Amino acid sequence: MIELENVAYSYGGAELLSDISLKLQPGSFHFLTGPSGAGKTTLLKLCYGALIPTAGYARLFDRDVREFDRDDIAMARRRIGVVHQDCQFLNHLSVSDNIALPLTVSGRDTLDESANLHELTNWVGLTQRAGALPPELSGGERQRAALARAVIMSPDVVLADEPTGNVDWEMSQRLMRLLIELNRMGKTIMIATHDLALIRAAKTHVQARVLRISNRRLQLAGADL
């Protein structure tokens, strides 16, 4: 579904990632770890076409991203749900309307999806905040809303950048259960996180590969995780 082959990426002439090869197969589950500044967010952006490799090849759904025009990127991203670390919302819309925004943009009837929207809002613990505006949310509430928005269209792939970074342990576990359930439905999941305890807990419920960025390269993490 997503494939990187000998990919490198440079910022201003300085190479951040080098010789990265990765295949996200349908139904797979990956964790991505590494120190701050190692390039986790950059790698995720390469995986959904927000960045073009400076060397090597990135393929989304069997097509080289260099061949994509604006419409191709838009269509590919309908199949990839992204939870950004710095999640942004439309401040004049309610939480519920922000979560439903991908449905609106794609032309789907939000009334037909109202049951799914309500269930998803409840799952991430925001039922009581559905009518609130984004500036009224805590950091953790914003991340939960961002996760709900990313999966509202049931994408084939979910890429999440520190989705549990500002929530407590109980909510982290709840959000992880949602991602695990999506994986059991056949969705491909990759989560960038610093939280090794969360990875260890999740691995008791799902078969997951743990990848680590170290010295600009991608490595399979050891059994200590």
Q: How many CB atoms lie within 10 A of CB 72?
A: 15
List the one residue out of 186, 220, 224, 221 whose CA is nearest residue 206: 186
- State pTM to two decimals: 0.88
Q: pLDDT for 19-28, tens place per residue?
A: 999 999 999 9
d(Cα 131, Cα 161) in Å, to the nearest integer?
26
What integer pLDDT is reported at residue 225 of this predicted model?
A: 47
12 three-state secondary structure: coil
For tokens 């269509």, name the residue. Answer: 75
What integer pLDDT is reported at residue 166 of this predicted model?
A: 74
Provide the residue ranges of all domains of the chain, joining segments of one domain with +.
Answer: 88-153
Beta-bridged to residue 162, according to DSSP, are none
d(Cα 192, Cα 30) in Å, to the nearest integer?
9
Mean pLDDT of successive 10-residue stretches along the chain, which has 225 residues: 93 88 94 89 93 94 90 87 88 94 78 79 90 91 89 91 83 85 92 90 90 90 54
What integer pLDDT is reported at residue 210 of this predicted model?
A: 94
d(Cα 202, Cα 207) in Å, to the nearest integer?
9
Report the run of H or E that residue 132 belongs to, with start and end: none
What integer pLDDT is reported at residue 175 of this predicted model?
A: 81
d(Cα 43, Cα 108) in Å, to the nearest integer?
31
Which tokens go with 90? 């439309």
For tokens 């691995």, name the residue. Answer: 203
36 alpha carbon, distance to own chain's centre:
17
Backbone angles phi, psi at 218, to 5 degrees: -100, 130
d(Cα 215, Cα 193) in Å, to the nearest integer?
18
What integer pLDDT is reported at residue 223 of this predicted model?
A: 46
Backbone angles phi, psi at 207, to 5 degrees: -80, 115
Q: pLDDT for 8-64, tens place per residue?
A: 999 887 889 999 999 999 999 999 998 888 899 999 999 999 999 999 999 999 999
What integer pLDDT is reported at residue 111 of this predicted model?
A: 65
The residue count of the chain comes to 225
